[in-house]
Structure 1
Amino acid sequence: MSSDQKNSLRGIWKDLHPEIVVAIYEIKTKKSYRMFKPVNWSKLMSTISRRKVLGSFASVSLLYPLIACGKGNLFMSKDIVLSVVLYSYLNRPIFDVLLNGSDIGLANAYGGGGIMTGETISFGPQTLTWRLGGPRGMLHNGDTVTVKNSLILTTDQVPPKAAYLGVHIYPDDTAELTISQYIPEISSRGQKILDEVKRHGR
């Protein structure tokens, strides 16, 4: 969150009536804030103009999604730490696989890489590139490929106790991200590719 956004939010809190702040705290935490008397809504409505109250709650409505999405924190988390597992469904090795500029390993043809632990991944659009390997003289050896499709990671995609990010790279230069509590398995699309390879003995 930018400094301007933080300053704007601080301004909203500053302008709120103290009892409204206490009410927000009690609603969110289900605890009583003992430094204040219990909120007297009748008195609050009589001492503050209706316009002021509505204006305050309009400000609160902007803040509450941040509180909810933050699972108890005021601001929604901007990133998540996961272990990354790479799967490649290409018919050649790939190396220098970079997710948001961070090296997440390499993979053999139709294979998986190791597990890269402790990767901090920001929510939002993701970048992914890899380099092509193969036998000496193979076409496009060493070329860098940039993923063709859009990869976006949102908080809605994160299940409870998420620990792993699967990065699945396909022959048409597209990719898929999966998040799970346990080590990710081969994707359904990837399994179809592997089954087809097995049927044709390639």
Structure 2
Amino acid sequence: ITCVEVTNQLRLGEERAAYGLIPWSVTALIGKKRRKLLLYADSARMALDVAKDWIELNCSGTFHIVGLKMFDHCVFIKEPQKEVDPNESAEEQDDETPEFYKVEVALRYRDTGTTRNDTFVLLTKDVDTAATAIHDWIVHDVRNNPDLDDTQKAAALDFDLTVISGVTIPCYGFIEREFSEVYYAHRPNGLE
């Protein structure tokens, strides 16, 4: 060691620990292709760790993380895929390949008349199907919310849903919330 410098600078900032998992988008150069992954994480650091681990497990070759973005006020939902009926003819079966859609909706609650906008990202075949999946997800979420009593649930379920916008977004894959929850529960740096 040729030189050591000591400083007495006062550090005013303190990193805040995040509480809960929020949506993130990580872009990686896998081989020679840019791939966007959607996932849940509590911080940028955790998002990078989850994406790196998932890519190592699911993709062959080299990769490099080139982008990271937090999806503010957004919900990723997984639309249950419809079973194919073997009795349907080829014309009756819908052969559209599902794509990732970013859909902004307005929820107007009938009892109060208030409106709230929410954004959802989901894998689906079109915006109309996305609207149905979003409606079903909200109903399921409200019915299974232990913090609401029956009166509050009834009020929360009395709403009109209007699609404001719906666009396809380029996305390689969605990393399941459960994959990220393992990182959140067992943080490698020992933070709890």
TM-score, structure 1 normalization? 0.22
TM-score, structure 2 normalization? 0.23
Rg bigger for which structure? 1
Higher helix share: 1
Higher strand share: 2
Larger relative contact order (Cα-Cα within 8 Å, sequence gap ≥ 6)? 2
